[in-house]
Amino acid sequence: MEAGLALQTRAAGFGSGRRRGGLQSPIGSLRVADPAGAAVAAGFGSGRRRGGLQSPIGSLRVADPAGAAVAVRARGSKPVAPLRAKKSFGGHENLHNSVDEALLLKRKSEEVLFYLNGRCIYLVGMMGSGKSTVGKIMSEVLGYSFFDSDKLVEQAVGMPSVAQIFKVHSEAFFRDNESSVLRDLSSMQRLVVATGGGAVIRPVNWKYMKKGLSVWLDVPLDALARRIAKVGTASRPLLDQPSGDPYTMAFSKLSMLAEQRGDAYANADVRVSLEEIASKQGHHDVSKLTPTDIAIEVSLPRISFLFLRTNYHQTAF
């Protein structure tokens, strides 16, 4: 299968200024091109490339045509549909409970766009916290590009899964590449990035993520273990166990990791607590929250106030 990312331009009427000639990361591994209106295909790792510079970990090129936003999707996959779900979430048939909810999300995200002023959003949180799911919705409504840092590492290394990278190389090798990917992404604008759950443990990654807005999806361990048990642990090497009840194994490993990671997630600019959202909704059951409920919290204009202050501290919503 061809590795690579296909980029699609969509008019979004939002831009923080026009970049000409592209930005280059310190090691020249990433280039943001502005080919005045042209949509381009981006290659990463061993995939096809048009232009852009290459580093040992690969090359990324994103078209940013004057005020238009780009949507990114894996080559061959379908674009993310903003208003319809392909899966059921905690018994919900839809990502959104209603059209009203979808419209609310759209309105909130438009307000936040102004304050973001092109800055990237980095979603952090434990494995299974919904970074990819919520991130795709956020990117869709913001007119931002979505990147999953795990996928970028896979493409850069030229391996089909994080599990294989851990097995053939090591966790340290994966972490080095994860940092390189985050460094490269940090020189770009208008991205929603779903980071790997362990990205928070390296201080240097915070240096990169602090160039944008970091948002911690704080999900109770029990809910995480349920979600992971449902989809299996094969794609998450730190949780993969040869035997045992998947929920119990996932819960115990996640608890250990949460302990080890201590306050690392709390470095994020914003904490979105599912327990608090559920309690606000009056049912106290986080499994009833749709990804859109959560994306609305990420988009709340309250976040925008962070950018009005020169010194801000983490805010829990």
Ligand X SMILES: O=C(O)C1=C[C@@H](OP(=O)(O)O)[C@@H](O)[C@H](O)C1
Among 15, 65, 198, 246, binds ligand X (CB under 6 A): 198
Residue 210's SS3 state is coil
Whose Cβ is closer to ligand X: residue 199's or residue 277's? 199
Site for ligand X in 156-185 (CB under 6 A): 162
Contact region with ligand X (CB under 6 A), list: 96-104, 112-120, 210-218, 230-238: 230-238
Residue 167 CA to residue 96 CA, distance in Å, equals: 38
φ, ψ dihedrals at 245, nearest 5°: -70, 125
- Residue 198 contacts ligand ADP per CB under 6 A: no
Opening angle at CA 221, ends 137 and 177, nearest 5: 60
Q: Which does 196 bind (CB under 5 to 8 A by kind): ligand ADP, ligand X, none?
A: ligand X
Residue 169 CA to residue 163 CA, distance in Å, equals: 10
Give min distance, CB of 168 to ligand X, in A: 14
Distance of CA 251 to the CA centre of its chain: 23
Among 4, 43, 125, 246, binds ligand ADP (CB under 6 A): 125
Helix, strand, coil: what percent of the chain each, to 5? 40, 15, 40
- Residue 135 contacts ligand X per CB under 6 A: no
Among 49, 61, 131, 253, binds ligand ADP (CB under 6 A): 131
Pairing of strands 121-124, 145-148: unpaired
Give min distance, CB of 198 to ligand X, in A: 3
Contact region with ligand ADP (CB under 6 A), list: 5-13, 16-24, 83-91, 166-174: 83-91
Between 109 and 128, how does the x/- string for binding to ligand X read (CB under 6 A)? ------------------x-
Site for ligand X in 210-229 (CB under 6 A): none
Tokens standing for residue 35: 């080919």
Among 14, 44, 89, 144, binds ligand ADP (CB under 6 A): 89
Note whether 138 and 109 are within 8 A (CB).
yes
Give min distance, CB of 155 to ligand X, in A: 14
CA distances from 262 to 100, 107, 124, 134, 270 (A): 38, 35, 14, 23, 17
Q: Which does 162 bind (CB under 5 to 8 A by kind): ligand X, ligand ADP, none?
A: ligand X
φ, ψ dihedrals at 203, nearest 5°: -55, -35
Please spell the DSSP secondary structure of 121-134, one letter per residue: EEEE-STTSSHHHH
Contact region with ligand ADP (CB under 6 A), list: 5-13, 74-82, 127-135, 263-271: 127-135
Among 129, 149, 177, 179, binds ligand ADP (CB under 6 A): 129
- Residue 29 contacts ligand ADP per CB under 6 A: no
- Residue 258 contacts ligand X per CB under 6 A: no
Give min distance, CB of 216 to ligand ADP, in A: 11
Residue 194 CA to residue 175 CA, distance in Å, equals: 15
46 burial (CB, 10 Å; 0-12 / 13-18 / 19+) is middle
- Residue 289 contacts ligand ADP per CB under 6 A: yes
Q: Give the count of residues interacting with ligand ADP (CB under 6 A).
A: 18
- Residue 231 contacts ligand ADP per CB under 6 A: yes
- Residue 272 contacts ligand ADP per CB under 6 A: no
Tokens standing for residue 75: 């080559």
Note whether 82 and 141 are within 8 A (CB).
yes
Q: Which residues bind ligand ADP (CB under 6 A)?
A: 87, 89-90, 125, 127-133, 194, 227, 231, 289-291, 294
